[in-house]
Amino acid sequence: MPDAKRAPDGAGVPARRAALRLLDAVLRKGLPLESALDAAARDLDKAEDRGLVHAIAAETLRRLPDLDALIDSATKKRLPDDAKARFALRIALVQALALGTPPHAAIATALPLIDGGPRKLVHGVFGTLMRQGAALPDPPTLPDLVAVRWAHAWGEEVAAAAARLIAAPPPLDLSFPADRPPALEGASLLPGHLRLAAGTGVAGLAGYGEGEWWVQDIAASLPARLLGAGAGRSALDLCAAPGGKTMQLAAAGFAVTAVDASESRLARLADNLARTHLSAQVVTADVMAWAPPEPVDAILLDAPCSATGIYRRHPDVLHRVRPRAIAELSAGQAAMLARAADWLKPGGSLVYSVCSLEREEGERVAEAFLAARSDYAPEPISADEIGGIAQPVDGHLRLLPGTLEAEGGADGFFIARFRRISGG
C-alpha cells in the first residue's frame, strides 16, 4: 500500500527500496537471496532494475562485515543490526565503494529509505566516511562464524582463500557433450568444459538458443563424469532439477530418469532438455516417498544441502546457514542416501554429492553410510578421472576454496562414489 505521508519516490529509489526489502528477507528472515528476489522486486518491471537490486544486495552480503565496521567507526552509539539506518548506509556505501555509483547518487537514493527516521545521522555518517576516503579492504572479511567454522574444519589458509575468492566475480563455466565443442573462445580445463571470463552475458552467447551448451560450474560437472559412459546403461538422477547433471548423463548416453520434488524447478529442467535436444524421463516426486519400478545401473544423488560451497554466487549462505540447519540437512541427506542405495543393481555405482563446505554434509554422511551398509564398498575416485584438477582425499573428492584459484576458482563440493557389491 502506498504510504500517504511519503513523498513520491525519485528516480532510482524504488530499486533501492527493493534492495532493502531483499536484504531484510535474507538477514532477518533467513530466506535465500534468489528465492526472495521476486517478492522484493515485485514493483519493478525492467530487467535492468531487477539486476541492480540483485547486484546491490549480493555485493552488500559479500562485504557485510566490512561495511558494518565502517558504519561503526563513524557512529558514537552503535546502530542496531536491524535498524533501517544501518540498512540504508550499507546500501549507499556498497554502491559508492564497490559498485561505482557516484557518492551523491548513492546517498540521494538511500535517504528516502529511512521514512521519517534519522536522515541527518545517515547523511552525516556517509559524508564523514566519504571525506575520510573510506575504502573496503581487499580481500573482504568473512563473517566471524563462517571464518571460524571453515578455519576449524579446513585450516586458516582455506578460510583466507574463501575470502579472496569473494572479491572477484566467478568465471562463467559451460558444459557440453565432449564430442561437440561450441565455437567459443575460452579455457578448457576438462573435456566437455569451457571457461569464459567473469561477467560474460549468457543469452547473447553463440550457441545458447541452439542448445549447444549449458551453464555449470566445473565442480558441479564432476559428479556425473564419475559415472562414466552410459550407452546401454540406466541411471537415476535424484534431486535433479534444474538438470545440469541430467543433461550430462543424457549426453553420456545413459537412459536417465530425473526425479525432483519441485515442479517449478522441473519445468526449468524440461526447458533445458528441450533446448539442448537431450532426453530423460522426468518424474515429479519426493525421493523419500517414491521408488523406481526396477533397480538401475547407476545412481547420482545430488542431495539438497546448505549450499555453502556456492558462496561466491550466493553470498546469502554466508549469513543465514547456521549449525542447526547443517545438522538437520545432514540427517536428511543420510536418510536419502540410505533409501537410494536400495535401488542400485549389484556391481553398479552410486555417486553422492553436495555443494557444501561442511564435513557434516559430506565426509560424515559418506562414513556413516559405509559403516551401515555391508552391501556397499568405496569406489575410490582417482585424480586422472577428473583431469588432475583436484586431488582426492581417502578416495573422495573434497573441493575447497583455493582449488583452481589461479584459473578463477571452483565451487566447494563433496563427492563420493560407492559400488554395490551384493544384494539388490
Ligand X SMILES: C[S@@+](CC[C@H](N)C(=O)[O-])C[C@H]1O[C@@H](n2cnc3c(N)ncnc32)[C@H](O)[C@@H]1O
- What number of H helices and E strands is found in the chain? 15, 11
Cβ closest to ligand X, residue 118 vs residue 304: 304
Q: Give yes or no: 305 in active site.
A: no
Query: Is 305 annotated as ligand-binding?
Result: no
Q: Binding residues for ligand X, per CB under 6 A?
A: 220, 239-245, 259-262, 265, 286-288, 302, 304
Query: Is 241 annotated as ligand-binding?
Result: yes
Query: Is 243 annotated as ligand-binding?
Result: yes
Cβ closest to ligand X, residue 122 vs residue 239: 239
Cβ closest to ligand X, residue 164 vs residue 265: 265
CA 206 centroid distance within chain: 25
Query: Is 242 annotated as ligand-binding?
Result: yes
Output the 3-class SS for 175-186: ECCCCCCCCCCC
Q: CB of residue 77 vs ligand X: minimum separation in angstroms?
A: 43
What residues contact residue 373 under an 8 Å CB cut-off, 6+ apart? 338, 341
Cα separation of 362 and 369, whole Å? 11
Cβ closest to ligand X, residue 27 vs residue 296: 296
Q: CB of residue 329 vs ligand X: minimum separation in angstroms?
A: 10
Cβ closest to ligand X, residue 151 vs residue 215: 215
Q: Are 15 and 114 in contact (CB under 8 A)?
A: no
Q: CB of residue 267 vs ligand X: minimum separation in angstroms?
A: 11
Cα separation of 211 and 209, whole Å? 5
Q: CB of residue 262 vs ligand X: minimum separation in angstroms?
A: 4
User: Positive or negative CA dihedral for 186, 187, 193, 195?
Assistant: negative
Query: Is 245 annotated as ligand-binding?
Result: yes
Closest CB to ligand X belongs to which residue? 239
Count other Cβ atoms within 10 Å, centred on residue 171: 20
Query: Is 332 annotated as ligand-binding?
Result: no
Q: CB of residue 287 vs ligand X: minimum separation in angstroms?
A: 4
Q: Are 393 and 415 in contact (CB under 8 A)?
A: no
Q: CB of residue 373 vs ligand X: minimum separation in angstroms?
A: 20
**Residue 258 backbone dihedrals phi, psi, to 5 degrees:** -100, 120
Cα separation of 375 and 341, whole Å? 9
Cβ closest to ligand X, residue 36 vs residue 111: 36
Cα separation of 65 and 47, whole Å? 29
- Catalytic choice (147, 161, 344, 355): 355
**Nearest alpha carbon to residue 344 among 381, 380, 292, 303:** 292
N- to C-terminal Cα distance for the chain?
59
Query: Is 197 annotated as ligand-binding?
Result: no
Residue ranges of the annotated binding site for S-adenosyl-L-methionine are 239-245, 260, 286, 302
Residue ranges of the annotated binding site are 239-245, 260, 286, 302
Mind telling me the catalytic residues?
A: 355
